[in-house]
Amino acid sequence: MAQAFFGGVHPHDMKAATNEKAIEQLAPPAQVVIPMSMHFGAPCTPLVKAGDHVKVGQKIGEFHGLGAPIHASVSGTVKAVEPRPYSMGGNITSVVIENDMQDEVSEEVQAPADPNALSVEEMIERVKNAGIVGMGGATFPTHVKITSGIGKVSTVIINGAECEPYITGDHRTMLERPEEIIGGAKFLAKMFGVDKVIIGVEDNKQNGIDAMNKVIAAEKAPVVVEPLRCRYPQGGEKQLCQAITGRQVPPGGLPADIGCAVFNINTTCAIFRALTTGMPVVRKIVTVSGSGIEEPKNLECPIGTPVSALLDACGGVKENTFKLIAGGPMMGMAQYTADIPVAKGTGAILAFAADEEKTVENPQCIRCGKCVSVCPMHLEPLFMYQYASKGMVEELNAAHIMDCMECGACSYICPARMHLTHMFKTGKQLVKDKAAADRAAAEAKKKAEEAKEAAAK
C-alpha cells in the first residue's frame, strides 16, 4: 500500500448509489450547447456560424496559445453562436447545434494506419488535435503537459483515486473499459520514454483494480496498479505524487518539478481513442447522484448536452431539492440553473434534498486548529480567512494563499462551519487583481518615462 500525504479528511464516500450501475448511454439530445471555453487557457474562436452543417468530430473552435480545440459532438445544423450560461459561472460564447440524429462522422476524423507505428511527435500532434484536456476537472491541455514534461518526467502516474464523494465515473470506466486505460497508459509510456506507468487507485475500488490487473497480465503491459488508502484529497495531483513516490512538490511548483506527470483515467482513455480511432473528445461520462436525484446513474452523453436532460434521464429532481452542484461536493460549483451544458471537465452533477444544509449565519472561529491539521498544502486556513475577509493582500501572499487548491478539506472539518474555501476563492482573486494592477501601473510608469525621454531629445 502506497505511503500517504500530509493532512486530508475522511468524508463518507457516498458512492454506493452508482458504483454498481453500468454506464448508460443517454438518449441523443435534440440540441447541444458547446462552450468555447472548456480548458485551462484562453477561450477558443468559433470556426462555424449559424446555418452551417456540422458533423461529429468536426473542429468548431480553434485555440490560441494555451488551450485545446473544440469539436462538434453531434451532427446537425448550427442554430446560433452566442453567449450561454455555463458551469463556471456567467455566460460564455457557445455553439448551439440542432441534432439531426444522423450521427454523421466528419471526414476530419481519421484513424492512423498503424497506431503503434506513430512517432512521439505524431502522437502528441494527434493528442493536440483531439482537444484532450484533464478530464478529471482540471482541464489543463494534455498535449502541453506531455510536451513540457518530456525529458523532465521519469514517473508517469494515472490518477484513478476518484476521491471526491459520490463520483464513480472513473471506477465504472476501470470495470467496463480497462483495455482503453491500459492502452492509453502504454501510449503515455512511449511518449515519455519510461519503462513503467503507475495507476494510483483508492482501495475502495478493488474490483476496478482487479479488472485492470487482468488486462495488464494478459497484455504484459508496462503498467502497475498501486492501491492507495482512502483519504481526501488523494486525487489532487500533488498529493497523488507524494502518496506514490514519497516526493513532495515544492510550494508554487508542479509535479514535473519532482519528475512526475499525472493523467486522469478518462484522459488516458481519450488518448487511447484519439490514437487508435482518431475520434476527438466529443463525449463525457457524468455521475448524476445525491439525495435530490430520484434514480442516480452514470450517464455518457455528447459534450454540450443540457444538464436538465441528464436530470430527466434520472427521473428528475425531488421537490425539496435545495442545491445543484456541477462537480463533487468538496470542489464542485453550486449552480443556479440546470440550463447549463456538460463540458469536458464535468464529472458529476449532484442534487441535494435531504437535511444536509449545514451552513450557519455569522460563524465564529473557535481557534481549534483543525483546519491547519487537515490542509494538504500545509497552509493556515484560519489566518488566511481573516486576511481575505479584511482584504489584506500582502498578508495573503505571505500566507501562500495561491497554493490553496480549494480542496475544501478545511471547510469540511471546521466545527464552526466557517466559509473557508469560499473566502479563499475571493482571496485569490484579490491577489490576482493586485498583481494585475501592479503590472499595469509599472507599464504606465515605463511608458511615461519613455515619453519624457523622447520629448527631451
Tell me which residues touch ligand SF4 (CB under 6 A): 365-371, 374-375, 377, 379, 381-382, 404-410, 413-416, 418, 420-421, 424
Name every residue whose Cβ is closer than 8 Å to that of residue 316 and which is 6 or more positions away in sequence.
294
Instruction: Provide the minimum distance between the beta carbon of 205 and ligand SF4 in the complex, in angstroms, as a whole number.
Output: 23
Nearer CB in complex with ligand SF4: 57/376 = 376
Nearer CB in complex with ligand SF4: 306/408 = 408
Sign of the CA dihedral running 66, 188, 245, 345: positive
DSSP annotation string for 133-149: B-TTTT--BHHHHHHHH
Nearer CB in complex with ligand SF4: 7/46 = 7
Q: Specify which residues 325 forms β-bridges with.
A: 334, 350
Nearer CB in complex with ligand SF4: 211/404 = 404
221 is written with which cell numbers?
A: 503491459
Instruction: Provide the minimum distance between the beta carbon of 392 and ligand SF4 in the complex, in angstroms, as a whole number.
Output: 16
Give which of 323, 348, 308 is closest to 165, Cα–Cα: 348
Instruction: Provide the minimum distance between the beta carbon of 6 and ligand SF4 in the complex, in angstroms, as a whole number.
Output: 10
Instruction: Provide the minimum distance between the beta carbon of 164 and ligand SF4 in the complex, in angstroms, as a whole number.
Output: 13
Nearer CB in complex with ligand SF4: 6/322 = 6
Instruction: Provide the minimum distance between the beta carbon of 355 and ligand SF4 in the complex, in angstroms, as a whole number.
Output: 22
Name every residue whose Cβ is closer than 8 Å to that of residue 175 and which is 6 or more positions away in sequence.
207, 208, 211
d(CA 123, CA 117): 10
Nearer CB in complex with ligand SF4: 416/430 = 416
Nearer CB in complex with ligand SF4: 96/382 = 382
Nearer CB in complex with ligand SF4: 301/374 = 374
**At which residue does the C-alpha cell 485545446 appear?**
68
Q: In angstroms, what CA-CA distances link 27 with 54, 154, 258, 311?
A: 20, 43, 44, 12
Give which of 420, 348, 335, 323 is closest to 137, Cα–Cα: 348
Instruction: Provide the minimum distance between the beta carbon of 425 and ligand SF4 in the complex, in angstroms, as a whole number.
Output: 9
Instruction: Provide the minimum distance between the beta carbon of 239 and ligand SF4 in the complex, in angstroms, as a whole number.
Output: 10
Q: Are 271 and 156 contacting, i.e. CB atoms less than 8 angstroms apart?
A: no
Which helix (H) or strand (E) element contains residue 240? Answer: helix 237-245
Q: Are 365 and 410 contacting, i.e. CB atoms less than 8 angstroms apart?
A: no
Instruction: Provide the minimum distance between the beta carbon of 407 and ligand SF4 in the complex, in angstroms, as a whole number.
Output: 4
Give the alpha-carbon dihedral of 368, 371, 372, 373, to 10 degrees.
90
Name every residue whose Cβ is closer than 8 Å to that of residue 335 and which is 6 or more positions away in sequence.
87, 307, 324, 325, 326
